[in-house]
Structures are given as C-alpha cells and as structure tokens.
Chains A and B, each alone.
Chain A
Amino acid sequence: MNDKVTAIINKYGGERGQLVSILQDIQAEYYYLPGEALIQVSEIMGIPASRIYDVATFFKAFSLEPRGKHIINICLGTACHVRGGSRVLEQVERCLSIKRGQTTKDHKFTLETVNCMGCCAVGPAVKIDGDYYGRMSTDKVEGLLAKFE
C-alpha cells in the first residue's frame, strides 16, 4: 500500500463521487496513473477495478502511460484553429518526432492537445508545464522547445 495514494483518498473522505478528483490528484503526484495506484483505489474504496479503469480511460485528462518531464498542451479550440493552431501542432510533432498523445523516447516531452484554455485572445496558444505562450506560429516552435532542458 502506498501512503501517498491512501492520503489522497482520505483527503476526499473516500467518497465515490470524488473519484475523478482523486484520480486527478494521483496523476498530479505521479504525472500518470500507475496501475498499482488504481488497484489500491479500487481496494480502499470498494469499487471494482474495471470501473476505475472505465473512468480512467473515459476522461481525456488521464494517462495510463508514464509521461514526460515537460507536458506540452497545444490549444485546438476554435479560436486557435482559425488562427493556425493545427499547423503549430504539426510543427511540434515534426520537431519532436512524435504524434499527439505520445511521449519522446528520452521522456523529456509529452505532447497533448486541449480544446480551449481560455486565452483565445492570444491564439494560437500553447501551454508548457503550466506556463502560457501566446501568438504562436510554426517558426517560433523550435526556439520555444529549445528553452526546455
């Protein structure tokens, strides 16, 4: 039994209705949802593991695979789309040689997309590790990625 996982479940009083929040917190701790943690949630909360897996795979926010050191979120909301967000995504895919949803071999970057982050004014927008970068274009991608170690 992992104490951290137990502590997260206890924080929400083990309430079934808080399952999504509990999984969010576990993911915030490990950057993904480790299998053992899901089993532990199942045992403590008395929910079948298949149900936990159901929820963990339904919601886009969750990853069952280990993710990279830096999480790149490319906004593909409509406002960013009409300003060329998908071209920015393609450029990042080319630069890192991965497709969206994947992690680089060196585990440095995970590339994800999001459907609006609420900063449409500066679209196309990109978020890396919680910091927002606005007015992105294909030619700025390489320089931005180079900033991350």
Chain B
Amino acid sequence: MTMITAVKKIGSRQDLEALRKELVKERRAERPVISLCNGTACRPYGCLKLTEDFKKELAKQGLEGKVELRVTGCHGLCEKGPIVVIQPGDIFYQQVNSEDVPEILSETITRGKIIDRLLHTDPATGRKVVHRNEIPFYRKQERNILGNNVEINLANIDDYIAIGGYTALAKALLEMTSEQIIDEIKASGLRGRGGAGFPTGTKWESCRHAPGDIKYVIVNADEGDPGAYANEGLLSGNPHSVLEGLIIGAYAIGAKQGYVYVRNEYPLSLANITTALRQAEQLGLLGTNILGSGFDFSVRINRGGGAFVCGESTALMASLEGKVGEPRAKYVHTAEKGLWNRPSDLNNVETWANVPLIINKGAEWYRKLGTEGSKGTKIFSLVGKINNTGLVEVPMGITLREIIYDIGGGIRDGKKFKAVQTGGPSGGCLPESMLDLPVDFDELSKAGSMMGSGGMIVMDETTCMVDIAKYFLTFLEEESCGKCLPCREGIKRMRQVFDEITEGRGSEKDLEFLEQLSATLIDSSLCGLGQTAPNPVLTTIRYFRNEYEAHIRDKKCPAGVCKALMHYYVIEEKCPGCGLCVKECPQQAIAFMGKKKPVVMDESKCIKCGVCYDVCKLGAIGKR
C-alpha cells in the first residue's frame, strides 16, 4: 500500500487538486498493476494467503516496486474468487491459487503472455474470455458505484483522491448553497436504497427545514437482510465514497454531527470505515472549516449488536442512544424528531454513495439511467441457486430475467428456475411468469415484492416455497422486538400454522387464516418489520398455491425439503455399492450388501440428516 503522501491538512480546493495531481502522476508511472480482491466473499477462498504469496513472489522475481500490487475490496464475481485483474490489458484471472502466482508474474507480467487456464469461460459459447469487460457477467452491468472498488487499495484515501474522490465535496461546499444541493438531489430522482425507496432529496429538505439548531445525519450500515451483502461490499471496498456523500448531506441539511451504524457481523466493513474516518480527519476533510468553507462536521462510528430490527430508522436511533433497539410509531417523522429528539436524517450506505456522483455529474446525467420512477443504478447481491453468485450493479429498469440469465449465467447444475426473492424478509418471491418485470421500486411493489436493500436470492426446483415462507417467519419471529402485539404474537401464530402444514397436519382452512392474519399484521404493526412480515407468505400463496396444496392435501413436499413429508432412498441402478454412505450414516440405517451390489436403506432408522445424500457423489441417493 502507498502511504499518505501529504500528512499536512488539505485546507482548500487548491490543496486537494495539487494532491490529486501528485497522486495521479505517481499512479500513471508506467508500471503494471495487479488488482487482487480481498473482499469478505473472497476470504473463504484464502485470498489473504494469496496476497502474501504475491508479495513474496514479487520480491523473489525482483519485481518489487516495478509492479503495483493493489489489494482491493469486492470485484463482484464472487463465485469465481479469488479474482485477479491485471492492467494494462484488463486481463481477468479467476480462481487463482498460490501455485499460479509465480507463473502470473513470470508469464503475464514479465512476458505479456496470457495463462489460458485462469481465464473465464463464457458459459453460453464455451469460449475463453481474456478481458474483464467482455465477460457476460460484467457486460450488462453499470458499475457506477461499485466499479471503483478495483481502483482502490482497501481503505486508502490516496487512491480515492487520485480517482477524483472528494471533488464533489469541494464543489458542494464551495460552489453550491444548501438549497442548490437539495434541489440537485431532488432533481436526480434518487430514492432511498435501504428498501422503501423514499425520495432522498425530499427527506433532506424536511430535515433541513425542521426546527432546531442541532441536527444529525446517519449512515444505516446495519444490513441485516439474510442473503444481502451489497452494503458490505460497498462499505468495505469504498468507504470514502459513503463518507463523502455523508459530509455533503450534512452540509445541505445543516448537521454538524454524523453517525455510521455498522453491523457488527461485518468486521471488514467496520475496520475499513474506521480507517477511512481517521484518514479523512487527518487530512482535514472532517473536522473544522472543511476545505476552507467554514463548515464543521465530525462523524462517530457505532456498532450494532446483531438485531435485524435495528435496520429500522427509529430502532437504530434508539440503539444509538444506548437503549434497546425498539422502534416507535412514526406519527412524528425522524426528520423532525429523531436521535435525541432532534431532527435526524438517516440514509442507507448505497444512497450516500450515490450523492458524490450526482453532485459531480449533475442530476441531468444521473436521470438518464433508469425508469420513470426509479433513477440510477441498484446494487444487488445475486445469490442462491445461480451460476454467477456475486455483487452486481444494474441500471434501474433492467428485467429480472436479464439479471438472472445474462448476468447471473442462469441456474446452477442445469436445474429449473422456480422463484426469485428480493427485499429480504420484507419482500416476496416472484415466479417465472414475472421475470420480465423491470427492476423498479413501484413495479416490484405492485407484484407483491419490494426492491429491498439489495438481496436477490434465486431459487430452483429443489427449493420448497412453503419452507421458504416458514424460514422467513422463523427469522422474523426471532427478530421481532416484542414491543407491539400484532408482530410479536401474529408472526409466531403464523409460524405455528406453517409447522402444521410442513409436518403434514395442515388443513384447507389454513391458507384463508394466513391471509386474514396477514391483513391484521399489515394494518396494525408498529413498524416496517411487522407490516411487511406477511409479504413472503402472501407472495408464495399467490404464486405457488399448488405447493401449499401438495403439502396440505397430498401430504407431500414436491421439492423434497420438508423433512416430515419426504424420505431418502437408494437409486439402485446408480449405486455401485462403494459403502461410503454406510460408513458415514450416523444411524447405521444403511447396510452394505457386498461389492457391486446396491446398498439397502432401513427407513425406520433414518433421521433424514442428509449425510448420505451429501456424501454420495454419484447421485445414487434420491429424495421423494
């Protein structure tokens, strides 16, 4: 990592520009760059060791100082990690491991030769792709926000400034009035990326006009949706973009104190935003008289404690006050009375990161991307039964089909698509017939789902939709804070009905009851958690009613997931009698019958743990 060259404070726009030029010159030095992903998703692949291997090998081959090793945040295509991108040439290597390192340096870096086996294969054509931008996964994306991750050493302010970071801040503080900034944000059409999609400029405006001298701005980085790590990839990979947006917002609203509320389960995000904050303070981009504008602003970081409900604005603010994270009714908006009863503006990580872009390029430019009601791009964590798992950033208006098939490369293992879930526990499951729906706040809501903070979970024929609805209810039952009765008791009662259905004791009346109870929760719960809790239930009943009926009438789980309604069996013609499942079965429920003879399973002993199913690589254990 390069060190901060200027320890002295940046006191003016001229200082910032001079530093930027100096840094750009240093970066332009004619040396190749190896950009290596060190994001959270690449960690289980051993990217930390790989980084060390690169450092050692660079020294060994005498390339130290001649090649820049850039250790960055998430590159997006997590499925194929660890990822290495080499410049010049935009050469994309995937699934790189330690043994590949000497060859990458001696062949690609020194001799300019491409290593074929490390290249990405286009699943559609079967052809190898050399350049990152030609990979189908990246081609349809617009990585306006996430794209800079690959340019920046983890939490390195020099890199951020070199690519034009904090120029939007200078423009906002020195050329624009608060009203002009708010007008620009309003004109851009930016809507909150945390899920509900409230217009950001309007929120800022009401907070600015709310009576009171002391106001707060808050970054909501408590990304609690299970299966969503979009905020994580952004906050850990490019924390300064969030910070820059926050400072601009604070100036526009008139806040002198900001908070970043980070989910404690994200150690990398926490570490990097902490470092970023310290760097910004050292350079004078936070503190008093920022860039000579006369504007003072400081930021504190708070950690969450593992409560999903704290992603709700009033609960988050209660937690910031050191209280339990219980929400309150929003008769009075937090823009008027929020943290410590003072006007407070809370926005999602991604919303804040959009701000510098809008200020720099203008609302007009920003509006060009997207649909009538949803502008700009949206980051999703595309996960589940999909070929290219990863973080994607797409223009609003793109269809779900394009995301899943063109970017995501379709369904894993040649299975059939069943549903896509967006919006986490507050969202819904959409079937194949809805795949041509555009990614748009209003369209997704109309279909019974929601944009959410960025989880997009793809499900195939082996996913049981009744089980998924039960999964979300179980999750929400645990996460309900218990303050209001409809949520506390209603979710529990719904989950109990799902227990009945998935254990083969469901009745025809259950669905009607679930729909009634859902209506009660929507109408009478205190906060968004309870109000949206029925969404997974209602959408699965609406689009996958036949699966409910199979559980209730036929006492069968078509996907083979609900334990009480399925059992494992030996597919005799596929079983060579190797005996591996016999050895692994914890119940001794499988008997070895001799070499080359299929094994025999005693279903009365089977506890349906699934070890035999996992251990058999020949697919000789089936579910029915």
* Interface of A toward B, CB cutoff 8 Å: 15-21, 23-24, 47, 51, 54-55, 58-62, 76-84, 87, 90-91, 94, 114-123, 125, 130, 132-134, 137-139
- CB pair A78 B322 closer than 8 Å: no
- CB pair B609 A122 closer than 8 Å: no
**Nearest CB of B to A121, in Å:** 3
- CB pair B227 A79 closer than 8 Å: yes
User: Restricting to B286-310, which residues have a CB under 8 Å from any CB of A?
Assistant: 300, 302-308
**Nearest CB of B to A103, in Å:** 18
B343 lies within 8 A of chain A by Cβ: no
- CB pair B385 A87 closer than 8 Å: no
* Interface of B toward A, CB cutoff 8 Å: 40-41, 43-45, 78-79, 81, 224-229, 232-233, 264-268, 300, 302-308, 319-325, 381, 383-385, 389-390, 421, 424, 455, 457, 459, 463, 468, 471-472, 475, 481, 584, 586, 609-611, 614-615
**Nearest CB of B to A147, in Å:** 15
Going nearest first, the 9 A-B pairs with the smallest beta carbon separation are A59-B305, A78-B227, A121-B78, A118-B229, A134-B44, A77-B226, A79-B383, A19-B322, A60-B306
**Nearest CB of B to A48, in Å:** 12
Minimum CB distance partner of A86 in chain B? B471
Report the bound CA distance from A24 to B611 in whole Å. Answer: 37
Minimum CB distance partner of B326 in chain A? A58
- CB pair B264 A24 closer than 8 Å: yes
Minimum CB distance partner of A23 in chain B? B305
Q: Which residues of A contact B323 (CB under 8 A)?
A: 51, 54-55
Report the bound CA distance from A118 to B455 in whole Å. Answer: 11
Minimum CB distance partner of B309 in chain A? A58
A82 with B459, Cβ < 8 A, contacts A118-B266, A119-B44, A122-B45 known: yes
- CB pair B227 A116 closer than 8 Å: yes
Q: Which residues of A contact B40 (CB under 8 A)?
A: 117-119
- CB pair B384 A83 closer than 8 Å: yes
Interface centre among B233, B306, B308 (most CB of A within 10 A): B306
- CB pair B320 A17 closer than 8 Å: yes
Minimum CB distance partner of B308 in chain A? A115
**Nearest CB of B to A139, in Å:** 4
Known contacts A83-B384, A118-B41; 13 additional CB pairs below 8 A are A21-B302, A58-B305, A59-B325, A60-B305, A81-B468, A82-B384, A116-B225, A116-B228, A117-B40, A120-B381, A121-B81, A121-B390, A132-B43
Interface centre among B226, B233, B306, B463 (most CB of A within 10 A): B226
Q: Which residues of A contact B584 (CB under 8 A)?
A: 139
A78: contacting residue among B304, B320, B424, CB under 8 A: B424
